[in-house]
Structures are given as C-alpha cells and as structure tokens.
C-alpha cells in the first residue's frame, strides 16, 4: 500500500484515495478476488490500474466497448504507463505488434474485448505473456438480472480458467443484490469479497416532469448549458432522428446515434462528442455504457428509461468530474403503458418479467415521488439518506397538498380487491369508470366504486405511485403480483399519521382539491429550507467545495479550455485526456506560477506536468493577475 500511495501521487497526481478505494486496494494487494460496486466517477478503474503499476505481471482488462478501451489506454499512455488494447478496430499490423509486445512482456495492462477473449488463441497468448490479474469492467453485463446483459460476457469465466492462476477483480456502477449474486455465481468459482459503496452522486441535480412539449422542454435544458456537452436519450431510433434534426435546425450541434446507423459513422460521431465541448448526442440506449467523458454537464430523457437501474446508469454519465450537472427525465402515461406492454409481450421467462416489472414500478415511483428524488432513488438500491437539497422536489417547485384522504381511498381499494390489481384498474374503480375488467370482477358493486371523482385516472395513478415511493404500499416480497399495505400505510389509513402528497405543476385537480399548506407540509418546507442550496454542491475533488469563479477566473478557465482543445486536436486525443475540467478550474483558482506549484494541483502528476505543464503555465502567466 505504501508503493500504491506513492504511485497514486507520482502517476495520477492525487495525494489521497477517494472514499472506498483504499479498502478495496488492500484486499486486492492481499490477493483476494473482488466484486466492487462503486458509483460512476468514484474511481473504479484505479482499483485495478494502480496494482498493475506497482506489481509485476500483466493485468487483463475486459471492456465491452472499443471506444472505452481506446480512451483508457490513451489516458494511461499519457501518464507514462505501458498499456495497449487488442480489438477489431486495430489494423492487422497493429494487433500483431501488440501481440509481439505481449510476448516480450512490454505491457502492464492490456484491454481486451470479450469477443476476442473467448477465441482459443487469445487465452494462450495472455498466459504466455504472464497475465496474473483479470479485471472485468461493467461486470453487470454478465447478469441476466442486470439492465444491460451481454451474452458474450458468459464466456469470461471459462476464458479466465483457460489462462490460469488469475486474481479476479470485477467492477460495476450498478448492481442490486440479485444482480450482485448473479455476477458472483457466473464469474467466480468461490464467493468473492464484495464491496458496495454508496450509490449517491450528490453533484447531479435530479428533475422529472410529465411531458407537455418534450422538444421545447429539452431545448430549455440545452439553453441553460450553452457550449457544454450533453446527452439526450430517446426511446426509439425514429425519435432520435427526428429530435436531432429539430435541434440541428435550431443551431444546436446535435448528432444522432443509434444501432441502425452505420458503425463507421457511429464511431465518428462518438469521437466528435468525446473530443469536443458543446456537442449534444441524441441517442438510444445504444450509446453511453463506459463513455469516459468527465465533463458531460446534462443528461435528458425524452422518454421514460427502461428501468430504475438503466436510469441510474444513464444519468451517471453526467458530472463524472465532480462538478455540478443537471438531469431531466420526461415521462407520460403512454410511456408507462408502452413499457408495461413490452415486458408482458416479451419472450422472457416469467421470473424475468416479474423482476422487470418490479424495476419499472420502482422507476415510476421515482417519477411520481412526493419526497426528495435522491432519497427515493437511493431507497430503490437499499440505501437510506436525508433530503438532498439538489433535486426538483427539494427546490420546492412542486405544489404540495394534504394527501391522507386520497391515500385512504387507494388503500381501501387495494384491500377490497385483495391487492391483486394494479394502478390503472384501481384508478378506474375510484373514478367510477365501469370498464370490462371492473364489471367482470364485480368491482362496480364495491363501496369504493366512484368515491374518487375529485381526481382523474391519470392523477390517481400518480397518487398510487407516490404511496409506493413513500413506502405506504409495497409489493409482497413473497408474491410480487400482490400489493400490500405497510405499517406506515396502516398508520395513515387509520388516521393516526398525516401525509403530504405532490400535485403536478400542470394538474387542474390540484386547485380543485383546494391545495393548502397543512401543518405537516410546513414541516416538510422547513426541513427543505434547512438543507444546503444546490449552489453549495460543486465538489472539485472529494471533500472540497469550489467557491464560485470570479469573472476574471472564469475568463482564465475559458482560455485554459481553449488551449486544451487546441492540444487535443493536434495530438488526436480526447480533451479530457489532457486535463479534466476540475483540474482547469483548480488552475484558474490557484494560478500556479511554477512547475512545482502545478504539481500540487490534484490530477496533474509528473508525466502530464512534463508533457503539458509549460504550455498551461504560459496561458496563466499571459492572462494577467486576478483582482
């Protein structure tokens, strides 16, 4: 560990580890097999890169995307680390040269696509090259319970056995308990040491809205982030093409990206996004996994994501540098019905369908939540937290109303229907809409039929999911097709506890229900006001909050970014491979005058200081003093 700490500062330019890294590295150096679940931007890759630097032998890194391999190899090479990537994007001559280098023990790390690794000749080559560590990035891809299952990952355990005598390090940002168990069973011959860090990303602002005019809502978000990079996810290829064309027509540098676009053009567009600031990628979920661009300032969803895990993974592509980032998710009842239909119509086994349905319900509950978004999101991953002060609920933008009576009506309807019916059916029951299903089950004869005409069906569905998000109702853990009332819900049902619910900004029924600030709402508002405002969340590095830049400091920051872009284009690098935005912010704040002072900035390190330091010091010197 002493050598690792020295290499951390010498190679990567950091004086201390990020939260969670040190205990994982201690286990790695002890020779243990590891499964680490750490949020995006928390430094997962360091957990296998740093041991590769300070120990003998070769570390194999399995990565699902060629672009991710290329970026990580570039960053390592810029820092003076011998690394290479074996993949189909290389020329035959390049791969032959890398294979020859492996036989001569020239590399510390080699990145390999899973498809190449399962070829019979590759394990033999890697064994000959002295491989002793097998690192699997995006390890959730091996699990059928994960949100991004990749069949080619199923051959990794056999490939590792063929290479022989390997320490296994599997890392991912997104894996709930069932997914972690599945990863452990598929990759490891014995139970690994499991580390699960907090899923929280406090620098990311969370916001959700019902669709009104989706294009206009997204344009508003983009306008708040002029000349900054962002990702807009759409649910279909047609939606991607249409939105990208509309945005481009309004002067926004927007590029379409989906699996139907020719592979070479996709690669060109991905490179443009990675290397330039200000580009907006409009994409399906085909884009993004493993994208290592740290200064993505916003992520929008024009349509409801696939699941709570997919949502977490996709918004996690924003703000990886620790600086503030925005998200906006748009949803509608038609989105929800489409996703429900996709699940029910799929050929997946019933167990899989039930899990997909549960994850969808968790996502809908997040969309409809009456409480802090981050509390609701983290609760879906089994993590408790306080109100965050950095979401649209904590911002106080939503109208609140006393919701005990509507909650009692829904819970009464759940009880009278044995918990076997889902939100749409219960909404029809409460508004008195005698659908075929209502009549077939005799629910038009229940006392609760028609007792909720103060809200429309869409609003009742929203209230249902708010009760789910607030843990008043839940799916029976032993029977996922049945809804139950929790202990918290029973207290509200009996009138022993108050309840605050959230109306929709656009819903007329909120006004019709005579929304008022009840005593419990005032308590919520007071709690919200006691939380740090969003502006407080601007961590440049762990534990340190950046003060706002003055006009002169911001001018220097812009000049430093321009110089970084110039260097990146000349050397055909992604801009962040030169320096992250957070490093440039620190340069603008500290204004180093010498190489020694530059080395004190976290994230610089000797290799980058030697390669780029004089250039950036000249920009600072020529910019004049801050006053």
383-431 tens-digit pLDDT: 888 899 999 999 887 888 889 999 999 999 999 999 999 888 999 999 9
Instruction: Give the chain's mean pLDDT.
Output: 85
The pLDDT, as a whole number, for residue 549 is 80
**Is residue 234 domain-shared with residue 152, that is, in the same domain?**
no
**Is residue 238 domain-shared with residue 256, that is, in the same domain?**
yes
**Is residue 168 domain-shared with residue 36, that is, in the same domain?**
yes
The pLDDT, as a whole number, for residue 286 is 75
Q: Alpha-carbon distance 217 to 550, whole Å?
A: 30
**Is residue 17 domain-shared with residue 140, that is, in the same domain?**
yes
The pLDDT, as a whole number, for residue 145 is 65
Chain segment 532-541, per-residue pLDDT in tens: 333 333 333 3
Q: Alpha-carbon distance 602 to 586, whole Å?
A: 8
The pLDDT, as a whole number, for residue 384 is 87
What total number of domains does the chain contain? 4
Chain segment 463-513, per-residue pLDDT in tens: 998 898 888 998 887 776 789 999 999 999 999 998 988 886 544 444 334
The pLDDT, as a whole number, for residue 529 is 33
| Residue at a domain's end among 484, 502, 530 | 530
**Is residue 228 domain-shared with residue 83, that is, in the same domain?**
no
**Is residue 351 domain-shared with residue 461, that is, in the same domain?**
no
User: What's the CATH code of the domain at 15?
Assistant: 3.40.50.300
**Does residue 614 register a pLDDT over 90?**
yes
- Nearest of 174, 534, 197 to residue 383 by alpha carbon: 197
Kindly state whether residue 539 falls inside one of the protein's structural domains.
no
Kindly state whether residue 388 falls inside one of the protein's structural domains.
no
Chain segment 544-578, per-residue pLDDT in tens: 334 468 888 888 998 998 899 899 888 888 788 89
The pLDDT, as a whole number, for residue 352 is 78
Chain segment 42-57, per-residue pLDDT in tens: 788 999 999 999 999 9
Higher pLDDT, 324 or 546: 324
pTM of the entire predicted model: 0.74
The gap between the terminal CA atoms of the chain, to the nearest Å, is 43
**Is residue 590 domain-shared with residue 571, that is, in the same domain?**
yes
**Is residue 187 domain-shared with residue 230, that is, in the same domain?**
no
Q: Alpha-carbon distance 255 to 518, whole Å?
A: 48
pLDDT grade for 146, boundaries at 50, 70 and 90: low
**Is residue 209 domain-shared with residue 188, that is, in the same domain?**
no
**Is residue 361 domain-shared with residue 477, that is, in the same domain?**
no
| Residue at a domain's end among 480, 505, 530 | 530
- Over residues 22-31, the mean pLDDT reads 94
Range of the domain at 261: 204-380
Q: CA distances (Å), 376 to each of 83, 113, 532, 537, in order?
A: 41, 36, 18, 19
pLDDT grade for 527, boundaries at 50, 70 and 90: very low
DSSP class per residue in 500-569: EEE--TT-HHHHHTT----HHHHHHHHHHHTSPPGGG--EEETTEEPPPPPHHHHHHHHHHHHHHHHHHH
Q: Are 207 and 329 in contact (CB under 8 A)?
A: yes
Question: Residue 525 half-sphere exposure, CB side, CA atoms within 13 Å?
Answer: 14
Across 21-25, 345-349, 364-368, 419-423, the highest mean pLDDT is recorded for 21-25
Kindly state whether residue 535 falls inside one of the protein's structural domains.
no
Helices and strands: H and E segment counts in the chain: 28, 20
Kindly state whether residue 395 falls inside one of the protein's structural domains.
no
**Is residue 186 domain-shared with residue 255, that is, in the same domain?**
no
| Residue at a domain's end among 179, 196, 213 | 196
**Is residue 178 domain-shared with residue 248, that is, in the same domain?**
no
The pLDDT, as a whole number, for residue 572 is 82
- Over residues 67-86, the mean pLDDT reads 88
Q: Alpha-carbon distance 525 to 394, whole Å?
A: 9
Kindly state whether residue 536 falls inside one of the protein's structural domains.
no
Kindly state whether residue 390 falls inside one of the protein's structural domains.
no
Place of tokens 């983009």: 222
Across 47-61, 130-144, 162-176, 472-486, the highest mean pLDDT is recorded for 47-61
Kindly state whether residue 312 falls inside one of the protein's structural domains.
yes
């Amino acid at each position: 560990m002493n050598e690792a700490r020295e290499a951390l500062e010498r190679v990567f330019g950091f004086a201390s580890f990020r939260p969670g890294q040190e205990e994982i590295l201690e286990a790695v150096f002890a020779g243990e097999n590891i499964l680490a679940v750490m949020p995006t931007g928390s430094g997962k890759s360091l957990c296998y890169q740093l041991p590769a630097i300070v120990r003998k032998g070769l570390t194999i890194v399995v990565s699902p995307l060629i672009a991710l391999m290329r970026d990580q190899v570039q960053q390592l090479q810029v820092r003076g680390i011998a690394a290479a990537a074996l993949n189909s994007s290389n020329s035959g001559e390049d791969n032959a040269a890398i294979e020859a280098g492996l036989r001569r023990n020239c590399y510390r790390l080699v990145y390999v696509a899973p498809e190449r690794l399962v070829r019979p000749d590759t394990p033999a080559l890697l064994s000959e090259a002295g491989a002793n560590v097998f690192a699997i990035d995006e390890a959730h891809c091996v699990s059928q319970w994960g949100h991004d299952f990749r069949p080619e990952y199923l051959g990794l355990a056999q490939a590792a056995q063929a290479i022989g005598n390997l320490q296994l390090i599997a890392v991912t940002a997104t894996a709930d308990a069932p997914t972690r168990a599945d990863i452990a069973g598929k990759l490891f011959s014995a139970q690994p040491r499991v580390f699960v860090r907090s899923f929280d990303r406090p620098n990311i602002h969370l916001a959700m809205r019902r669709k009104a005019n989706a294009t206009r809502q997204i344009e508003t978000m983009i306008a708040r982030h002029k000349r900054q990079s962002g990702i807009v996810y759409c649910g279909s290829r047609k939606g991607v093409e249409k939105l990208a064309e509309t945005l481009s027509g309004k002067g926004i540098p927007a590029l379409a990206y989906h699996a139907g676009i020719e592979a070479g053009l996709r690669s060109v567009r991905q490179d443009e996004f990675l290397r330039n600031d200000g580009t907006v990628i409009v994409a399906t979920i085909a884009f993004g996994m493993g994208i290592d661009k740290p200064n993505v300032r916003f992520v929008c969803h024009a349509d409801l994501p696939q699941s709570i895990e997919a949502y977490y993974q996709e918004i996690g592509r924003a703000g990886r540098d620790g600086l503030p980032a925005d998200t906006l998710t748009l949803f509608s009842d038609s989105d929800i019905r489409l996703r429900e239909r996709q699940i029910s119509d799929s050929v997946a086994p019933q167990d899989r369908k039930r899990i997909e349905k549960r994850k969808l319900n968790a996502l809908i509950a997040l969309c409809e939540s009456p409480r802090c978004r981050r509390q609701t999101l983290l609760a879906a991953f089994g993590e408790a937290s306080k109100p965050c002060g950095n979401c649209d609920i904590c911002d106080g933008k939503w109208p609140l109303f006393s919701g005990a009576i509507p909650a009692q009506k829904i819970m009464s309807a759940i009880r009278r229907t044995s918990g076997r019916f889902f939100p749409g059916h219960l909404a029809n029951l409460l508004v008195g809409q005698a659908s075929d299903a209502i009549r077939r089950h005799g629910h038009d004869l229940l006392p609760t039929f028609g007792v909720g005409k103060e809200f429309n069906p869409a609003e009742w569905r929203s209230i249902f999911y708010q009760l789910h998000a607030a843990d008043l109702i839940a799916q029976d853990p032993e029977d996922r097709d049945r809804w139950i009332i929790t202990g918290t819900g029973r207290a509200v049902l009996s009138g022993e506890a108050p309840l605050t619910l959230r109306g929709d900004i656009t819903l007329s029924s909120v006004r019709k229900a005579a929304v008022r600030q009840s005593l419990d709402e005032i308590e919520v508002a007071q709690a919200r006001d006691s939380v740090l405002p969003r502006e407080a969340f601007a961590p440049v590095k762990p534990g340190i909050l950046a003060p706002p830049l003055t006009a002169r400091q911001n001018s220097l920051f812009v000049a430093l970014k321009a110089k970084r872009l110039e260097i990146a284009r000349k050397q055909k690098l992604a801009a962040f491979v030169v320096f992250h935005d957070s490093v440039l912010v620190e340069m603008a704040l500290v204004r180093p005058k010498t190489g020694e002072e530059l080395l004190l900035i976290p994230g610089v390190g000797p290799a980058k200081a030697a390669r780029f330091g004089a250039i950036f010091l000249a920009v600072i010197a020529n910019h004049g003093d801050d006053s």
